[in-house]
Structure 1
Amino acid sequence: MRLAQRLGIAAGISLLLLPIGILLDDGLSSRWVFLLWLLGSLLGLTVWSFRVLILGAALGALGVAAVLFTPLLPRLAQALVVSEAPHPADLIVVLGGGMQCGSGSLEASSLARLEKGLELWKAGYAPRITLSDTVGEIFGDARCPSLGLEAARRVEALYGPDGPEIVMLPQMRTTHTEALATAQVAQAKGFHRLLLVTTPTHSRRALAAFRKLGLNVTSVPSSEPRFDMTLRLPIDRLRALSAVSREYLGWLIYRLRGWV
């Protein structure tokens, strides 16, 4: 096969593989997407690298088939969920989610977590909630506004001075830093019982990170706004692929670092 043919086929295969990469990391910018496509296309420069690309594409196709047509992903997703009955507590810990940096608004998972935290507060389970005052770089854009401050503005708009007491956790980057900050607040304020709110597939790792620090915490997950947690439809399985993959990778990283 001639070089021009290999490069053309490599460019086409790389373009077809890009949606898988975007699903696995939906935070990729246009620049990174283009670079990934360009690097994949350049695999057509040699016969050996072209064969590697073909093999990778075949394995990717098998992986997508397993996600779409087998019960593998639903079982992996359910294994990540810890849902416990709420009880009276001192503090509702609402973990940070994502931001839409361009519009400066909360991403769907952040809204779902905030909604669940406020629901628990309105039901009288605790008088106060935490919000994570993130830094812009965590979302890949230094201009991105703080998730916690935007969430606080929403709470203020909904309830005014009658809303819950807000405990802001400054400059949060990861679930681990949120656990550390919450532990400091709990010790300083004498809080003993906590309700932990995050999205379902993140709940097991988050709960383990908090309990690793000796906190008495109960997992009360929010709804999952990004896909149907039953994962009956192929489109929901594709949408869940990113969250499930990140969580298992996160479990590995947290275990290696001794955080869970």
Structure 2
Amino acid sequence: MDFDLPLLLFWLKKLASVLLLPPLLPLLPIALGLLLLRRRRRLGLTLAWGGLLLALLLVTPGPVNRLLTPLEPPPLEMAAIGDAGAIVVLAAGKRQNAPEYGGETINRLSLERLRYGARLARETGLPLLVTGGAPTGGLAEADLMAASLQQDFGLAPRWVENASRDTRQNAELSAALLREAGIHKVLLVTHAAHMRRAQEAFEAAGLDVVAAPTAWLGQAVEGAEDRLHLPSASAAYAGWFALHEWLGLLAYRLSR
């Protein structure tokens, strides 16, 4: 069996994200603080209460929205499309156990992006590129997106990039396909909170990017708890997403 360094790095990155993101992130200082209570009580209490406060902040709409606001751009204005030559839709994962679809299918995040990409394709007439590999095995996310486009939206992508493992590879491999077709400007479709990092990656790959964000999480009202600014499940998910993107941006800076 050949040693796959990129795959190893991918899984190391995933492991690091488990430690640096909720729900484990705030539990670590709490656990460490409890372990230190006997020997260094003040430090132990500080860590434990600090972890509890962090956990609370990351599930409360107000603090979470403050994390999201700098990440999420405004909606696409059609006048900004100009001479864009294609629409690029980024995958966001899949459901491996979907018996109602005969096996695997795209998850709800990929579907949100795909739906908006299909809408833009109909409004602009631009060809579609879907991008996403299969880092965890099975069918590539881009192949599942292509199938959903055809079956659910009556559209066919012109390009299917199915070898990438992360956003940077989405950008590099998609840019290579588009350059062969003479395309240098694209509409980039992804979640609003992911757009800043995705746009950086695609521009670094040499493409001129027009942001076409979808599915805003900041200021979203999902239920009574959010309207009352109380901790909620939707705020917890948005907090995880926001922190994930900030860590991703930091990783980009450190790897330059």
Match for 1:130: what amino acid?
A: L
Name which one, 1 or 2, has greater alpha-carbon Rg.
Answer: 1
| Counterpart for residue 96 of structure 2 | 101
Distance 1:222 1:181 in 2: 23
Distance 1:64 1:120, change over 3 A: same
| Counterpart for residue 133 of structure 2 | 134
Distance 1:94 1:48, change over 3 A: farther
Provide the alpha-carbon RMSD of the alignment.
Answer: 3.2
| Counterpart for residue 237 of structure 2 | 239
1:153 aligned onto 2:147: yes
SS in 2 for 1:101: strand
* Alpha-carbon contact 2:141-2:162 (below 8 Å) kept: no
Correspondence 1:111-260 to 2 at 5 A:
111-126=111-126, 128-137=127-136, 142=137, 144-160=138-154, 163-224=155-216, 228-231=217-220, 233=226, 234-235=231-232, 236-258=234-256
* Alpha-carbon contact 1:121-1:164 (below 8 Å) kept: no
**Displacement of 1:250 after TM fit?**
0.2
| Counterpart for residue 80 of structure 1 | 71
- 1:75-123 Cα offsets, whole Å, 9 max, x none, are 2201101233242521101011011223322211100010011010011
Distance 1:125 1:255 in 2: 36
Unaligned 5+ segments in structure 2 are 1-17, 99-103
- 1:165-206 Cα offsets, whole Å, 9 max, x none, are 331113111111111112212221101320000001001111
SS in 1 for 2:158: strand
Distance 1:48 1:94, change over 3 A: farther
**Displacement of 1:251 after TM fit?**
0.4
* Alpha-carbon contact 1:116-1:197 (below 8 Å) kept: yes
Count of matched residue positions in the alignment of Structure 1 and Structure 2: 218
Unaligned 5+ segments in structure 1 are 1-20, 29-35
Q: Percent identity?
A: 26
